[in-house]
Structure 1
Amino acid sequence: MFAAATRSFVEEVDHGGLLIPVCSLNDPVAALSVVVKRKRFWFWQKPKYQPTDFNLNDLLTGDAPIKPGVAETDFIKYSGTFGDNIQGSVDASFISAGVNVTGKDSSKLQSSFGSLKKEEVDVQKLLRDCKDRVLDMSHSLIQQTKEKNRRAFGIVKERIVTTQPCSVIEEVQQAGQCGGTFSSCNPKIPKVSLKENGSLSKDSNVTMEIPANTTIAYGLIELEVRHDGHFELCLTSDFTGGFEVDGPVKMASQSLVGAALQSSQNSSLQQELDRLGDHFQLLSDLPAATRSSLLRRVTELMQDKSAVTALQDILDQMRLDKKPDMSDLKTTESQQHNIKSIVELLDQSRREGPAPSTSVLTAVHLMTATLEELPDAGLAALGMCCSPQVLPTLERLARCVSGSGEFPQSGAEVSQDVFEKTGHLLALSNVSLKKDGHVLKTEINPQPGHVPLVLCIAVTSLASLAQSV
């Protein structure tokens, strides 16, 4: 609930910026707090951040603490009301499970954190104070972080803070029917409503009181740390931190990411999809019953982004050859069942399959990583397209996005319903879809980021599972 509220706030006020939403009320975030940044496996994945119980002074040698000064200013007064009405019908035939779902959903998202303030560290004074200071490399936090790959330290340079009490309210509204041999109809994605001073709406079913002076988002300065404990502040976004291993402090992955960024534009998307072709082929080569089960269970998890994130965390552990810990899954019982079933399917495929670099585990990890990276609205829109009837058309459109930009319908007309669904999904992914006679045309909008690439990979992966299902 709280994580969804802060994520929505950051998407509205700093989309594509440097603010990081706070995920938990228990996260200790203050000026100069140390945060561990974990870089992900795929270059387009957003890093994950783990606030610690330490601040920069706790890690420095010497007795003189750094006191750079913190300026406090008014930020914005944040409130908004969002609503949607969705009507849809899905008739999907899975192996051993025929599903017919019809529904009419209405939802309302009211958000009001009230007046917010920003606290900013005086970076110039911080830079002067840090000159010639050294980190205590024997500190347990440094030792434990340095031992793990793709980790970096950041310190909080700014934070957005509430100035008055407010409430986080979770609302669920749905009317629908399920038919066929499928066992259940899953609830709608929870909507989050925030109102000042604890005012509740009659349709809410969970309320969380948020006190004043609660951090809802923050920004970081990353650290480049050398063997001897000397460090530098990364003052611009194109410099990322890390621990010196061999040679220069800047990690080699930076140049890889910089090159990969160029591959996510226009027709070069096709090169990236071709490079990942073995992963898609592995999914399509699975037995029909396995593909059907995976598609159905992943589609169900897509109704709640937190469930997709939980599955991705489990797959991260499995890729590191760790036994996945499912005892602390913060998901519903139904979602836990789906995650465990997916893990069992992957365990079976891993025992019977090829080397880890081209394993089914890696292919599914790729797919769920893209689903996690999609914006909330994009994930919901893709979930409405995840039937074996719609996915093949959507995959052809994804290939169109990554190729010539034109999709001749060649006698097989795309229905108006499918055209509207896919057009809405593509628009949420910074791609426009237009109809010109019997030709559909796609165009990537300016400065699209990684979202078109992420969508194309997600669609191609899901379509690989839907083949002949």
Structure 2
Amino acid sequence: MFHKATQKIVNELDPYGGTLIPATSPYFSDDFKPLHIIKKRKGTWFFTKDKYIPTSITLADILKDGKDLDIGLQTSNFSGYAETSSFYILGEVDASVCTVDAGVHASGGVADIISTVEMKKRVISEMMLLEATKDRKINRRHRFVKQLCNNTFHIILEVVETDRPCDLNSLFTAHAGVEVPTKIMKAKGGVNVALKQNLSFPAGTTIAFKVLKLRITEDDTLDTVWQEFQTYNCAASCYRKPEIPFTELTKLSKDVSQLFLNTFLQILGNSDNLPVLDTMLDQICEGFQPDLQVLGLMEDEDRACVEKLLDLLGIRKVDPPGQPLTLTPHQNEVIKTVNIFVQSLNELNPDTLPLLATNVEMKIISRQLKMLEKMEERFFICFAPEMQIDPAEETLESLALQFTESEFEITQGILEEFGFHLKSENTSISCEMHHRNEDMFCSIFVVLSVLKALDDQVKM
């Protein structure tokens, strides 16, 4: 909900997508401030977007004489923002976590209400930064500097933050028209249901930021890096099926698999946990204890969900942030898989996540994955002319005809999110691709594959 709001605000402030980056979560706001070092992870062939991972380290921390570093910070009130938006969605459900039978229908709506946001901009001049640090040396013995592979790093040069407290509300409504057994919805057939989500964040919460790339020179001083221009890479633009490390998931016991599956269902019920988990998992994948102080800022239910997943991953809460972790190869592989799963969820529309959890309860993931494979063959993979397709194989349309009406509606709602329109007329099925979105296709494929792998372990 927060990331959705900051993306809208950034689109207004920076409509041409220049340099302003929307913040993903209010919980790491203190680390998204001027002069804080931020880790930039370049997009891969699967996750094409660059990621920015916050740290508690500032530029002053890595300088030998940085304690008295004083750089003029320019502050100005420059804009206000207010919006009420509502839009129609397909196949919505009430995302309250509970263990009851529930209803789902093919119509409903979501309204997001953002209170007026008064914002201020805090900026450090690049020229003043270089002037203030020109005679200061980098501490090569600092643990962060030791990890640098090319003597370059990024710092935050500018932030847009709230000037006063702000409220963000989301109203989720649905009419339960058919009965669907699911653990993450709370509804009975024939009744209206609604879910309200409220998020309040204080003055000084970072809405967006800009970064500057610096390099450490041979004499251990700082200099800026010229803007990098990305070259077109034909190989990188070609579709490649995601490779998911399933091996360690199949080694989990039935009870542990059930715990992971239940936790993932809870996460699907509240997408606001995803940016927090994404950041923590990135820190863990780099081999360091994540910053768990943000858990104290979260609501009790959200905090319990995040803590449950960290416990399953073997992350102890007693260790201070930034300390090296000692994990077994099995733990590392499970964490890697969970990280890919969470990153994939972050690529999807939050309104789709409850539908994905419904798939687990409806036992239709296997059939949906078969459909995705057929879509992959038809729309993404170019077959050589000599390749022959067996006419006896199931087609995309024949697989879709196997769904019941409610199963078809859920599947149809999910496919719409990544550009496919599945239409049923009488006893015939048609499938059209309105737009090609490989990132979204890969993400939905990963999410369904991980859920199926855990569900298969539970059934054993």
What range is the shorter-chain TM-score in?
0.5 to 0.7
Deviations 1:374-400 (A, max 9, x none): 343444553444435232233233324
- Residue 19 to residue 387, structure 1, CA distance change in 2 (3 Å): farther
Given that 1:156 and 1:219 are in contact with CA atoms closer than 8 Å, whether structure 2 keeps it comes out as: yes
**In structure 1, what is the Cα distance between the partners aligned to 2:253 and 2:58?**
50
Aligned match for 1:408, one of 383, 396, 399: 396
Aligned match for 1:111, one of 110, 114, 120: 114
**In structure 1, what is the Cα distance between the partners aligned to 2:424 and 2:185?**
41
**In structure 2, what is the Cα distance between the partners aligned to 1:161 and 1:313?**
20
What residue is the counterpart of 1:34 in the other structure?
36
What residue is the counterpart of 1:450 in the other structure?
439
How far did residue 46 of structure 1 move? 4.6
**In structure 1, what is the Cα distance between the partners aligned to 2:412 and 2:182?**
31
- Secondary structure of the corresponding residue to residue 410 of structure 1: helix
- Secondary structure of the corresponding residue to residue 9 of structure 1: helix
- Amino acid of the structure 2 residue aligned with 1:33: L
Residues 1:329 and 2:295 aligned together: yes
How far did residue 180 of structure 1 move? 8.0
Residues 1:102 and 2:103 aligned together: yes
Residues 1:370 and 2:374 aligned together: no
Aligned match for 1:221, one of 194, 207, 212: 212
How far did residue 300 of structure 1 move? 1.3
Given that 2:157 and 2:211 are in contact with CA atoms closer than 8 Å, whether structure 1 keeps it comes out as: yes
**In structure 1, what is the Cα distance between the partners aligned to 2:341 and 2:61?**
41
- Residue 137 to residue 323, structure 1, CA distance change in 2 (3 Å): closer
Given that 2:93 and 2:355 are in contact with CA atoms closer than 8 Å, whether structure 1 keeps it comes out as: no
- Residue 421 to residue 223, structure 1, CA distance change in 2 (3 Å): farther
Given that 1:74 and 1:116 are in contact with CA atoms closer than 8 Å, whether structure 2 keeps it comes out as: yes
What TM-score, normalized by structure 2, do the two folds share? Answer: 0.65
**In structure 1, what is the Cα distance between the partners aligned to 2:143 and 2:335?**
27
What TM-score, normalized by structure 1, do the two folds share? Answer: 0.64
Question: Cα RMSD between the aligned structures?
Answer: 5.3
**In structure 2, what is the Cα distance between the partners aligned to 1:463 and 1:120?**
47
**In structure 1, what is the Cα distance between the partners aligned to 2:333 and 2:171?**
38
- Amino acid of the structure 2 residue aligned with 1:376: P
Runs (5+) with no aligned partner, structure 2: 188-192, 315-326, 381-394
Deviations 1:197-233 (A, max 9, x none): xxxxxxxxx655547xx65212112223245324442
- Amino acid of the structure 2 residue aligned with 1:402: E
- Amino acid of the structure 2 residue aligned with 1:283: L
- Secondary structure of the corresponding residue to residue 341 of structure 2: helix
- Residue 47 to residue 290, structure 1, CA distance change in 2 (3 Å): same
**In structure 2, what is the Cα distance between the partners aligned to 1:296 and 1:176?**
25
**In structure 1, what is the Cα distance between the partners aligned to 2:281 and 2:263?**
15
What residue is the counterpart of 2:139 in the other structure?
138
- Secondary structure of the corresponding residue to residue 446 of structure 2: helix
- Amino acid of the structure 2 residue aligned with 1:410: S
Given that 1:82 and 1:109 are in contact with CA atoms closer than 8 Å, whether structure 2 keeps it comes out as: yes
- Residue 463 to residue 21, structure 1, CA distance change in 2 (3 Å): same
Given that 1:35 and 1:49 are in contact with CA atoms closer than 8 Å, whether structure 2 keeps it comes out as: no
**In structure 2, what is the Cα distance between the partners aligned to 1:422 and 1:4?**
24
Deviations 1:80-136 (A, max 9, x none): 42355776579xxxxxx985223687643122545756676666x579x56993652
How far did residue 457 of structure 1 move? 1.8
**In structure 1, what is the Cα distance between the partners aligned to 2:154 and 2:104?**
45
Given that 1:46 and 1:373 are in contact with CA atoms closer than 8 Å, whether structure 2 keeps it comes out as: no
Given that 1:6 and 1:216 are in contact with CA atoms closer than 8 Å, whether structure 2 keeps it comes out as: yes
What residue is the counterpart of 1:392 in the other structure?
366
Deviations 1:392-436 (A, max 9, x none): 23323332443322952326514454444344434434x333449
Q: How many residues align?
A: 410
Residues 1:154 and 2:154 aligned together: yes
- Residue 59 to residue 403, structure 1, CA distance change in 2 (3 Å): farther
What residue is the counterpart of 1:303 in the other structure?
269
How far did residue 371 of structure 1 move? 1.8
- The within-5 A match list for 1:179-328 is 191=197, 207-208=200-201, 210=203, 215-236=206-227, 238=229, 262-263=235-236, 265=238, 268-270=239-241, 273=242, 275-276=243-244, 279-280=245-246, 282-283=248-249, 286-312=252-278, 315-316=281-282, 319=285
**In structure 2, what is the Cα distance between the partners aligned to 1:269 and 1:436?**
30
Given that 1:283 and 1:464 are in contact with CA atoms closer than 8 Å, whether structure 2 keeps it comes out as: yes
- Amino acid of the structure 2 residue aligned with 1:145: F
Deviations 1:162-218 (A, max 9, x none): 5x64631445666899998969969987645xxxxxxxxxxxxx655547xx65212
**In structure 2, what is the Cα distance between the partners aligned to 1:114 and 1:328?**
23
**In structure 1, what is the Cα distance between the partners aligned to 2:283 and 2:156?**
28
Given that 1:2 and 1:168 are in contact with CA atoms closer than 8 Å, whether structure 2 keeps it comes out as: no
What residue is the counterpart of 1:243 in the other structure?
none
**In structure 2, what is the Cα distance between the partners aligned to 1:465 and 1:168?**
37
- Residue 156 to residue 404, structure 1, CA distance change in 2 (3 Å): same
**In structure 2, what is the Cα distance between the partners aligned to 1:172 and 1:439?**
34
What residue is the counterpart of 1:199 in the other structure?
none
- Amino acid of the structure 2 residue aligned with 1:217: A
**In structure 1, what is the Cα distance between the partners aligned to 2:227 and 2:132?**
18
Deviations 1:429-466 (A, max 9, x none): 4x3334498565454836x4733322322222223333
Given that 1:283 and 1:360 are in contact with CA atoms closer than 8 Å, whether structure 2 keeps it comes out as: yes
What residue is the counterpart of 2:54 in the other structure?
50
Given that 2:62 and 2:138 are in contact with CA atoms closer than 8 Å, whether structure 1 keeps it comes out as: no
- Amino acid of the structure 1 residue aligned with 2:240: L
- Residue 299 to residue 117, structure 1, CA distance change in 2 (3 Å): same
Given that 1:109 and 1:191 are in contact with CA atoms closer than 8 Å, whether structure 2 keeps it comes out as: no
How far did residue 298 of structure 1 move? 0.4
